């Protein structure tokens, strides 16, 4: 990390010195890295820095190395920076505090609170019922908090698979019926009466757990934007359960989400109408992500019997 960036971090945190620690992860397609910095001379022992460096030659794991893909990623980091600088949540939907953000040429830095220090030092690759519910509760309170809030400075329509930003993947699809229905499915989701802000990439890997697993915080807000809350729910459930689990457990978990959502929304909201609409959107939201996967990576493990069944139901409603 350049000395000038280290100096900016020191100034933002009021620290006297820092030591660059371990790399937490490399950003998608080689767009930089997330590192932990150890501080001295201030109240924070460490911070986490998301250091974005736009590469000259992109290396996408799926081969989607296009100007459109690059432009989308650049925009996603601009959105994330705006999110951290201009939006805040509460303890029920905890996010890291943004301490500073800088942009210079083809590099960007976001200096964030170290959630490990804040008590969210656990990561999960598989989850039990209680941990799934902790994440669903986070999403419910996030959606409730931002219900009716305009996505100013964010993606007009959140999620990284939004149809308008994925024409190449749509063109690559073999499923002619779903391809023909894609625009209608997107329109139905976008025309929802009840809109909120969606996280946009609410997979298990983006949740940090407390030691007890009862509390979670979320990170990675590159694709936060407007939309129907069901988009986050279907994506999260699909990220941590395989088809048999989905068939058995999804109905009860969706019920739990709506119980939590009711606690989170303001009393002047017609919650009955909200729940009715979003439950109707569940299959449409799942099918929307299924559409993206079929074009992006047709051999992906999430393309399973459960997803195909929901897609058939949606196509049946559209009479396709």
Would you state the pLDDT for residue 319? 84
Q: Which CA distances in Å does 245 have to 3, 114, 306? A: 50, 33, 10
Tens of pLDDT, residues 288-312: 999 999 999 999 999 999 999 999 9
* Domain shared by 237 and 173, yes or no: yes
* Domain shared by 228 and 85, yes or no: no
Going 119 to 120 to 124 to 127, the CA torsion angle's sign is positive
The two tokens of residue 50 are: 């998301």
* Domain shared by 141 and 171, yes or no: yes
Contact between residue 204 and residue 240 where contact means Cβ atoms under 8 Å apart: yes
Tens of pLDDT, residues 228-241: 999 999 999 999 99
Phi-psi region at 276: left, alpha or beta (left = phi > 0; alpha = psi -120 to 50): alpha
| DSSP per-residue codes, 135-189 | HHHHHHHHHHHTTT---TTSBSS-STT-GGG-HHHHHH---HHHHHHHHHHHHHH
Read off the CATH number of the domain in which 206 is found.
3.90.1200.10
* 60: in domain: yes
DSSP state of 43: S
Tens of pLDDT, residues 220-272: 999 999 999 999 999 999 999 999 999 999 999 999 999 999 999 988 999 99
* Domain shared by 293 and 162, yes or no: yes
* Domain shared by 162 and 42, yes or no: no
Angle at 141 between CA 140 and CA 147, to 5 degrees: 85
Would you state the pLDDT for residue 9? 95
The two tokens of residue 164 are: 């308008």
Range of the domain at 158: 129-317
| Domain total in the chain | 2
Nearest to 111 by CA among 97, 124, 100, 122: 100
- For residue 186, name the pLDDT band (cuts at 50, 70, 90): very high
* 24: in domain: yes
Q: Please report how many Cα atoms fall inside a 13 Å half-sphere around the Cα of residue 90, on the Cβ side.
A: 10
* Domain shared by 92 and 228, yes or no: no
Would you state the pLDDT for residue 67? 82
* Domain shared by 257 and 313, yes or no: yes
């Amino acid at each position: 990390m350049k000395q000038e960036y280290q100096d900016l971090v020191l100034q933002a945190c009021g620290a006297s010195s820092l030591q660059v620690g371990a790399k937490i992860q490399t950003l998608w397609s080689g767009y930089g890295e997330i590192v932990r910095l150890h501080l001295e001379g201030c109240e924070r022992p460490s911070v986490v820095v998301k250091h974005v460096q736009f590469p000259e030659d992109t290396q996408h794991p799926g081969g989607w190395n296009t100007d459109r893909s690059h432009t989308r990623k650049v925009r996603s980091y601009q959105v994330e920076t705006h999110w951290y600088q201009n939006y805040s949540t509460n303890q029920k939907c905890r996010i890291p505090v943004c301490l500073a953000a800088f942009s210079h040429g083809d590099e960007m830095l976001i200096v964030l609170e170290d959630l490990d220090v804040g008590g969210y030092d656990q990561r999960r690759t598989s989850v039990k019922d209680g941990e799934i519910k902790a994440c669903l509760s986070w999403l419910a309170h996030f959606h409730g908090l931002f219900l009716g809030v305009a996505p100013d400075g964010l993606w007009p329509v959140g999620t990284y698979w939004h149809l308008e930003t994925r024409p190449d993947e749509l063109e690559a699809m073999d499923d002619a019926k779903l391809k023909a229905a894609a625009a209608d499915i997107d329109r139905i989701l976008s025309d929802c009466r009840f809109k909120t802000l969606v996280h946009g990439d609410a997979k298990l890997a983006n949740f940090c757990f407390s030691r007890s697993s009862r509390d979670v915080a979320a990170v990675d807000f590159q694709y936060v934007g407007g939309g129907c809350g069901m988009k986050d729910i279907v994506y999260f459930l699909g990220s941590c359960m395989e088809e048999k689990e989905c068939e058995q457990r999804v109905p009860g978990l969706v019920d739990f989400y709506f119980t939590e959502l009711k606690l989170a929304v303001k009393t002047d909201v017609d919650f009955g109408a909200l729940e009715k609409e979003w439950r109707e959107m569940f299959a449409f939201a799942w099918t929307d992500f299924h559409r993206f996967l079929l074009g992006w990576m047709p051999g992906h493990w999430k393309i399973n019997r459960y997803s195909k069944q929901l897609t058939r139901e949606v196509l049946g409603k559209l009479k396709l």
